[in-house]
Structure 1
Amino acid sequence: MQSFLTKRAISSGVSLLLLIVAVFFLSRLTGDPTDLYLPVDASAEARENFRELHGLNDPLIVQFGHYVADLVRLDFGESIRRARPALEVVIEAFVWTFQLAVITMAIVSAAAVSLGALAAFHVGGAFDRIATFFSLIGASAPDFWIAIVAIVVFAVGFGWVPTSGTGTVWHWILPIGVLFIRPFGLILQVVRGSMISALGSAYVKTARAKGVTPKKTIFVHALRNAMLPVITVIGDQAAALLNGAVIVETIFGFPGVGKLMIDSILQRDFSVVLAAIMVTALAIFLMNILIDLAYAALDPRIRY
């Protein structure tokens, strides 16, 4: 186990380093922050002072060297836009995204696993056909379209919920609802397929022959053995949310890390962009390790 964790940590560290290099140089292609933050008629001296203050006068390779040296000291730089430590800004936004992702995935996982298992148990029946139909629509519908329709219908049309913000529980309903649809459809389909295979296995047939109740057959004998591919899909969908539900957060004005990255790219706030990428990448690496460990917990035959 220790060897496995060490190898994963090393591979994740290499991936993170490559990501830092790519984002650092690509973000500079968006332009010079001096042109954005200073007026057009700013004097040459003012422009020079601004560039010197934010370390923009040095060649890119020198700037990268300084940035890496600061990272070693856990200094992620300062936000140009907010005049605050970049890491502090990112953590504040990441907390919002983390809450949104955890709540959404908890609801999605419970609903998709339960309904997918029941659909597999009644394969070919009315419930299975209805669940499959709606899950396929959910997995195919684009998030931005669902978000816009939800605002037009439920916020503007009926006035049931606010259009944006996070002030009350009602502000969370539309973002969670929109983010729920695609993962629900994908996970339900995987659960259904995996459960159909598990329910046709010899040990399940034996349990049925012994008179085990359908509920126990589904949720005790079959579901645990069908969960390995499901865990993978749940992890992928959770990673997508942790990576920032960019479109949904932007449309609903949700102050998460996805919206922060978009705003920071447009504002050429390089330190915040890099800090957001690193914090998100670290969270995803840790989650992938937890998923691997969950495999061993579900299947005793898997050992690391």
Structure 2
Amino acid sequence: MSKYLSKRILSSLLAVAGLFVMVFFLARLTGDPGHLYLPIDAPVEVRKEFSEKHGFNDPIYIQFGRFLEDLSEGNLGYSLRKERPAIDIVLEAIPVTLSLAAVAMTIALLGAILIGSLAAYKPNGLFDRISRVVSLTAASAPDFWLAITAILIFSVSLGWLPTSGIGGFPYWIMPIAILVIRPLGLLVQVVRGSMITALSSDFVKTARAKGVKENKVIFKHALRNGLLPVITVAGDQAAAIANGAVIVETIFGWPGIGKLMIDSIMQRDFAVVQASILITAIVILSINIIIDIAYAILDPRIRHK
């Protein structure tokens, strides 16, 4: 298992390195930050001084070399907009995103296990048919459309919920609901299919023949053996929720890393863009590694690879 995890960690680090290099060069294709941070009528000397101060007038390969040197010292640069270390700004925003994503993923996973298991208990029954239609619709709905529609209905028309910002419980309802809908719909389908297979297996028939209560048959015997494909998809959906937070945070004005990333791209704050993407990539890859560990624990065949 240690050899398997070592390979996964190494491949993850290579992916982060490749992503970071790509982001560095793509960010600089957005243009000269001086056009945003200096007045339109700023003299040429002032623009030249600004570029020299921040190293934007150097060839791109020199900028990249300086960036790698700073990175080796743990320095991800300074924000042009806030004149603070970029990593400090990102670390202030990431807990907001993680808390939002953690709550949304927990609700989606628990809800999917309950709904999918009940749907699998009587395949093609009324509850199963309804849950399939609703879950397929939920899995197909785009986040941005759901978010805008929710604001129009619950904030503008009914006035029940705030449109944006972060605060008490009402501010959490719509962002979490939007992040939950798609993964919940997909996970319900996965749990249902996995549970149908597990409930038709020999060990479940044996448990029923021994007089085991039906709720234990479903949620203890069948569910435990049907969790492997669910864990795999849950890991992908956890990463998708982290990515979806970019849209949700931007629409609802949440001060998380998603909104910070979009704002920094628009403001050509290169250091913050790079730090945001680096931390986000590390979080997503860490989630994938944790899922791999859980999968290896549940499936002995993986432990010996």
For residues 8-87 of structure 1, the aligned pairs below 5 Å read: 8-87=8-87
Look up the equivalent residue of 2:126 and give its one-letter code. Answer: A
5+ residue gaps, structure 2: none
SS of the aligned residue for 1:40 comes to coil
5+ residue gaps, structure 1: none
Return the structure number with greater relative CO, CA threshold 8 A, min gap 6.
2
Deviation at residue 301 of structure 1 after TM alignment: 4.0
Look up the equivalent residue of 1:193 and give its one-letter code. Answer: G
CA contact (8 A) 1:195 1:222 kept: yes
Q: Quote the sequence identity (%).
A: 59
Residue 279 (1) aligns with residue 279 (2): yes
The match for 2:200 is 200
Look up the equivalent residue of 1:20 and give its one-letter code. Answer: F
Mean CA deviation greater in 238-247 or 14-23: 238-247
Q: 1:245 to 1:287 in 2, by over 3 A?
A: same
The match for 1:270 is 270
- Determine the C-alpha separation between the residues in 2 that align with 1:189 and 1:300: 25
TM-score (norm 2): 0.97
TM-score (norm 1): 0.97
- Determine the C-alpha separation between the residues in 2 that align with 1:182 and 1:213: 33
- Determine the C-alpha separation between the residues in 1 that align with 2:245 and 2:9: 26
Look up the equivalent residue of 1:32 and give its one-letter code. Answer: D
Give CA-to-partner distance per residue, 1:176-216, whole Å, 9 cap, x none. Answer: 01111101000000000111111111111111122211111
CA contact (8 A) 1:77 1:85 kept: yes
- Determine the C-alpha separation between the residues in 2 that align with 1:244 and 1:76: 25
- Determine the C-alpha separation between the residues in 1 that align with 2:135 and 2:244: 23
- Determine the C-alpha separation between the residues in 2 that align with 1:60 and 1:162: 45
For residues 100-179 of structure 1, the aligned pairs below 5 Å read: 100-179=100-179
Mean CA deviation greater in 6-15 or 110-119: 6-15
Deviation at residue 95 of structure 1 after TM alignment: 1.0
Deviation at residue 158 of structure 1 after TM alignment: 1.4
Give CA-to-partner distance per residue, 1:229-272, whole Å, 9 cap, x none. Answer: 11111111111222352221111111111111111111101111
Give CA-to-partner distance per residue, 1:24-67, whole Å, 9 cap, x none. Answer: 11111111101111111111221111111211121101101111
Look up the equivalent residue of 1:293 and give its one-letter code. Answer: I
The match for 1:247 is 247
